[in-house]
């Protein structure tokens, strides 16, 4: 991922290399073959059309994002192959047990990752005191117990399954964030999880919201590549303002891609992090670059995936392709649950 996020920068090309310049001086040069995603996210940035042609030729994804991390737009090629049969299955799966099964699987992945992450904190974080550890373990057990409730919900169709699944999700989230709030450095002022729409004023929530935006971009691209319609979700209802399937598939990746690395980051660098929040309640440029850099490293990290080792970014694409296989009846879908 090449992140372009600073004022007065120009992104062009030279031969088959991507060149970033600032006031005429070269800042960075990468062969196009080694870049999979270019993320443009600051005012005062320019790109050349030659670069866009290179990007299209190499199949690099080019994303425009807002300063606060929300993906705004994707450059979509005219001649990208596209599987119509897959999308037909996707729409019909909404009405049958396949959609309901997927809706449950996404949340099962999320909840199991939450429970495991709390146990991981207990095992790895030395700074955490024994009574906090006990409360984290208890929270983890309670969340694990909810997985059984989830499995008990009958897979009829999405509309039927949604209420029960969202109930479990909400309960798990309340336990999970309450537990996490004991680990986030107190001086950061994190008391409870607040979404972007709730206008949080503490830096950890703002960092989380920014990072979920970066994750949404990755999931969006993976779904488009797999030939799925990002708008037709199973758990998330049709909503012209939110691509439902993006928010669906994101669920199982929230903890491993965002929560875990971000918690480590704020615990380790608490002094630095508290300076990231501008008076306007937004991240400063350094904060944005740090989060992008962190997530890029995480997405590039290899994990065990079945019998293979794959980067998290490839695993997201694999899971999107596994949704396709499941819709075509070729294999069962299992959510991504990280080993802790």
Residue 54 or 283 with smaller CB distance to a copy of itself: 54
- For 182-218, give the DSSP string: TTS-GGG---S---GGG---SHHHHHHHHHHHHHHHH
With CA atoms as reference, report the closest residue to 196 among 181, 176, 216, 168: 216
CA atoms within 13 A on the CB side of 299: 25
Name which position in 31, 33, 59, 77 contacts a copy of itself (CB under 8 A): 77
128 DSSP assignment: S
Residue 56 or 301 with smaller CB distance to a copy of itself: 56
Q: How far apart are CA 70 and CA 211, in angstroms?
A: 9
The sign one gets for the Cα dihedral 103, 105, 111, 113 is negative
User: Residue 238 interacts with a copy of itself (CB under 8 A)?
Assistant: yes
CB within 8 A of 116, min separation 6: which ones?
A: 140, 255, 337, 338, 340
Q: With contacts defined by CB under 8 A, name the span among 116-124, 142-150, 173-181, 236-244 that binds a copy of itself.
A: 236-244
Residues 3-22 that bind a copy of itself (CB under 8 A): 10, 12
User: Residue 76 interacts with a copy of itself (CB under 8 A)?
Assistant: yes
User: Residue 50 interacts with a copy of itself (CB under 8 A)?
Assistant: yes
Name which position in 241, 307, 330, 339 contacts a copy of itself (CB under 8 A): 241
Smallest gap from residue 237 Cβ to a copy of itself (A): 10
Compute CA 225 distance to the chain's CA centroid, rounded to the nearest angstrom: 16
Q: With contacts defined by CB under 8 A, name the span among 63-71, 125-133, 137-145, 268-276 that binds a copy of itself.
A: 63-71
Neighbours of 182 (CB within 10 A): 17
User: Residue 82 interacts with a copy of itself (CB under 8 A)?
Assistant: yes
Q: What are phi and psi of 192, to 5 degrees?
A: -150, 165
User: Residue 232 interacts with a copy of itself (CB under 8 A)?
Assistant: yes
Smallest gap from residue 216 Cβ to a copy of itself (A): 8
Positions that interact with a copy of itself (CB under 8 A): 10, 12, 40-50, 52-53, 56, 64, 70-84, 87-88, 91-92, 216, 220, 229, 231-232, 238, 240-243
């Amino acid at each position: 991922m090449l992140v372009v996020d600073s004022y007065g920068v120009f992104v062009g090309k030279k031969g088959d290399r991507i060149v970033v310049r600032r006031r005429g001086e070269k800042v960075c040069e990468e062969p196009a073959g080694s870049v999979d995603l270019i993320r443009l996210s600051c005012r005062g940035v320019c790109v050349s059309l030659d670069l866009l042609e290179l990007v299209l030729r190499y199949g690099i994804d080019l994303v425009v994002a807002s300063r606060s991390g929300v993906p705004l737009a994707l450059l979509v090629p005219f001649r990208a192959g596209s599987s119509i049969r897959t999308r037909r299955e996707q729409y019909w799966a909404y009405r049958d047990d396949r959609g309901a099964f997927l809706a449950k699987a996404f949340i099962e992945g999320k909840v199991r990752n939450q429970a495991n992450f709390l146990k991981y904190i207990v095992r790895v974080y030395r700074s955490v005191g024994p009574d906090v550890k006990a409360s984290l373990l208890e929270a983890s057990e309670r969340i694990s117990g909810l997985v059984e409730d989830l499995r008990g919900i009958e897979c009829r169709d999405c509309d039927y399954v949604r209420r029960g699944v969202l109930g479990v999700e909400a309960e798990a989230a309340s336990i999970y964030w309450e537990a996490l709030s004991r680990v986030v450095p107190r001086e950061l002022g994190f008391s409870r999880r607040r979404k972007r729409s709730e206008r949080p004023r503490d830096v950890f929530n703002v960092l989380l919201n920014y990072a979920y935006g970066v994750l949404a971009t990755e999931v969006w691209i993976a779904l488009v590549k797999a030939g799925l319609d990002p708008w037709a979700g199973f758990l998330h209802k049709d909503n012209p303002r939110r691509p439902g399937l993006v928010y669906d598939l994101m669920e199982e990746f929230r903890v491993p891609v965002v929560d875990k690395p971000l918690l480590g980051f704020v615990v380790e660098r608490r002094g630095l992090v508290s300076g990231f929040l501008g008076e306007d309640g937004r991240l400063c440029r350094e904060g944005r670059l740090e989060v992008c850099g962190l997530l890029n490293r995480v997405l590039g990290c290899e994990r065990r995936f079945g019998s293979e080792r794959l980067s998290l970014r490839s695993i997201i694409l694999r899971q999107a392709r596994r949704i396709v296989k499941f819709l075509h009846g070729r294999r069962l879908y299992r959510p991504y649950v990280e080993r802790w």
